[in-house]
Amino acid sequence: MRTMNPSDRPDPSSVGETLAAQALDYVRAISPYVTGKPVDAVAREYGLTDILKLASNENPLGASPRASEALRQRAWDLNIYPDGGGYALKQALAAQFELDPHGIVLGNGSNDLLEMVARAFLAPGRNAVFSAYAFAVYALATQAAGATAKVVPAFPPDHPTMPYGADLEAMARAIDADTRVVFLANPNNPTGTWVDREDLVTFLAAVPPTVLVVLDEAYSEYVERDDFPDGLALSRQFGNLVVTRTFSKIYGLAALRVGFGVAQPAVAAMLDRVRQPFNVNHLALIAAEAALGDTDFIAHSRQVNAEGLRFMAAAFAERGLPTIPSLANFITVNVGLPAGRVFDALLREGVIIRPLGGKSDTGGISCHIRITIGTQAQNERVLAALDRVLLRLNESASEAS
């Protein structure tokens, strides 16, 4: 084998750039998902120590106590691979929700399940349908599979009941012969909007049985409405329905990354074919199984969130700042300024929220910020910081004009 003289070798960075240019066009075009700003990064950048993060919809009450105790008692054998099939957790989920364990697929968070659906059912020449203002991963997963995203306009901001909500009738009309997947979050992230049971059932009945409907219920445990649909129950009625849920939100296990999907066993088997081996780690399996039965913690988390959501909605109404109706553990508010500027200003106050637009654009929801519902003290702190920031930014804008 002929070796190249070290002095004749191309620069490593140029080799990397050449190889990157050979990646698939639709992969090269992807804009990676931007995660919430970490607390440590803000501390380093601004020299702050007391930082409040209300950006990623984490449970402000922490993790399920039962999960934490289970980890303390059973966090051993870290040199041994986890149960790749997740038998114990699947059995617990099947018992809790009256499911066929063969129809359950475990994921490294529910994001992992969305990616599995895309890998198994999407490809160049196929398309996925979802609403505008939907979870960003739907577009990313679709693009990574080389498929086309058909983004359906959401309801307008002046809609009488559900501004920025998913227009199910328009989504049904958007389905064509090349559609293989429909993504729908209920409640939706980042808007918090939702669809009720009657509308969802009507929509599912209108979708051809050859099209997979992925119902993303990451925030469903926070909902307290009689007319809110139970996707797991509906999955027994509609064979083309895949329901995804997560332990990252109300259960408080975001750091461990574990979610689950429910589908017909034949569909679940296809998702398992593209699932990475051992995708859910040993500690996550232990914690999730314990958290599933922590009914007191779940009920308390739901109560604290409901009270906080009402408080924040009323506070913004008093300030004349429009909010989008929400059933999740966050609220999205129109601050009347580019969200990126408000985000940057709040960082200097030691508060991290999620901006839904850049620093200069003003279209769509780019003047909206998403704020996780925290404890009462946290909610009051973010409101006070936002008051100071908006006063300062609006005064600067007035002086500039």
* DSSP annotation string for 13-49: HHHHHHHHHTS-HHHHT-----PPPPHHHHHHHHT-S
- Is 250 in contact with 222 (CB distance < 8 Å)? yes
* Per-residue pLDDT at 358 exceeds 60: no
Least confident range from 45-54, 188-197, 255-264, 322-331: namely 45-54
- Rounded to an integer, what distance in angstroms lies between the CA atom of residue 189 and that of residue 134? 6
- Mean pLDDT computed over 62-89: 93
Position 362 scores a pLDDT of 42
Position 359 scores a pLDDT of 42
* Per-residue pLDDT at 184 exceeds 60: yes
Where in the chain are the domains?
39-57+296-400, 65-294
| Averaged confidence pLDDT in the chain | 93
- The answer to whether the bond into 187 is cis (omega within 30° of 0) is yes
Report residue 384's pLDDT band, with 50, 70 and 90 as the boundaries: very high
Report residue 3's pLDDT band, with 50, 70 and 90 as the boundaries: low
CATH code linked to domain 65-294: 3.40.640.10
CATH 3.30.420.10 is the classification of domain 39-57+296-400: no
pLDDT tens readout for residues 318-330:
999 999 999 999 9
Comparing CA positions, the residue from 262, 321, 260 lying closest to residue 112 is: 260
* Per-residue pLDDT at 148 exceeds 70: yes
* Per-residue pLDDT at 5 exceeds 80: no
- Rounded to an integer, what distance in angstroms lies between the CA atom of residue 312 and that of residue 374? 10
